[in-house]
Amino acid sequence: MVSREAGAQVYPQYYLYNRIQYTEALAQLAGHLTLADHNQDVLDSIKTTSLQQDHVSFMCGDVTELRIKSSPAGHWCPDVPTVFRSPLQYFQMLQATTSTQAAFTPIRAKSCLSYIQHKGDPSQLCILAERVNKDEQVTETHFPHSVIFQMEWLLGNTWSSTEGETTTREFCLGLGLVPGQRVLEVGSGAGESAFFMARYYGVHVHGVDLSSNMFCLALQRQATLEEKLRKRIHFEMKDILEGDYPAGFFDVIYSRNVLLYIHQKAELLRKFKGWLKPGGTLFITDYCRGTASPSQDVFDFENRRNQMAEEQRVHVGCHHCSQRNRKLNLGVMTL
């Protein structure tokens, strides 16, 4: 969907081809598909393909002026942005678009991998959001920017893991990383460890974090790197328990101080085992309980962390969201 705000455009042939491929994939998944565009020539080109089906309809007009009947199970897939915005602005707009009854909650987001691999551009973004009742909306409260920047001030520029670059350098020396390997970083934060491993070891890093603020900050910093480095890094915002990566895909799984937030540790470790290649490496650091009884401060901290973990589970762990993630796993969304 686009609006006339974009002005008159002449679309190259490859753009029309990509639009047709994408809409054909959507048509195979959707019970009904409505294609809207302000350019009638684009719609006419698409109509000449196999998309002339009973469950596909076409509308020409400015998307901001269209009147489309709402559907509780519907999906909206905007295309060709009229005004370029940062990833953070998109998340803020989604969470600010509320009514007296309904709101959006972001479920999953990632950069388009083909744009990263071929252009070194992480700014082509895919976002999956759920329409929920207003009282069910989940907003970013776990890692506000003030907390992130405080951690970085304490641990070193861009670092949010214990002892920052010092421990990362030490740990990576023992991992036997070699150029071309695939690394899954669970809890990638603002990207500091991914940048370090990609820069100094030549590995490809797929970073996953549940915090939209961390994810957006990582994309912002990735965009400032040199092109060859940008092409080796891919960030994703999602619940790692909803991961659907191929079996035996990663050489290394790397996670710093993240598992304490996850109740289903045994389930996650089973997933790690499946995602690793035979002989692959799993590296984890975490905070563990000692033999002495915890102080009241530690007890209060654990309660807050348990509450955070439960909020995260409710946020993205529901079964129907998991099913929808799989159904919407189109070419631009795949690893």
Among candidate residues 321, 327, 144, 118, the one with its CA nearest the CA of residue 228: 118
Note down pLDDT in tens along the chain; length 335 residues. 443 444 444 555 555 556 666 677 777 777 788 777 777 777 777 776 656 667 787 878 766 666 666 655 555 555 554 556 777 777 777 777 766 678 787 788 898 888 888 888 888 888 888 887 766 655 555 676 666 666 666 666 766 666 678 888 999 999 999 999 999 999 998 889 999 999 999 999 999 998 888 898 899 889 899 999 999 999 999 999 999 899 999 999 999 988 888 889 999 999 999 999 999 999 998 877 778 887 887 777 667 666 655 555 554 444 344 444 433 333 333 33
The widest CA-to-CA distance across the chain, in whole angstroms, is 73
pLDDT on residue 134 = 65
Residues of the chain with CATH 3.40.50.150: 145-318
**Do 1 and 79 contact (CB within 8 A), yes or no?**
yes
Give residues with Cβ within 8 angstroms of 267, minimum separation 6: 241
CB atoms within 10 A of CB 185: 25
Pick the CATH number of 145-318 from 3.40.50.150, 3.40.50.1820, 3.40.50.300, 3.30.565.10: 3.40.50.150
pLDDT on residue 167 = 85
pLDDT on residue 91 = 76
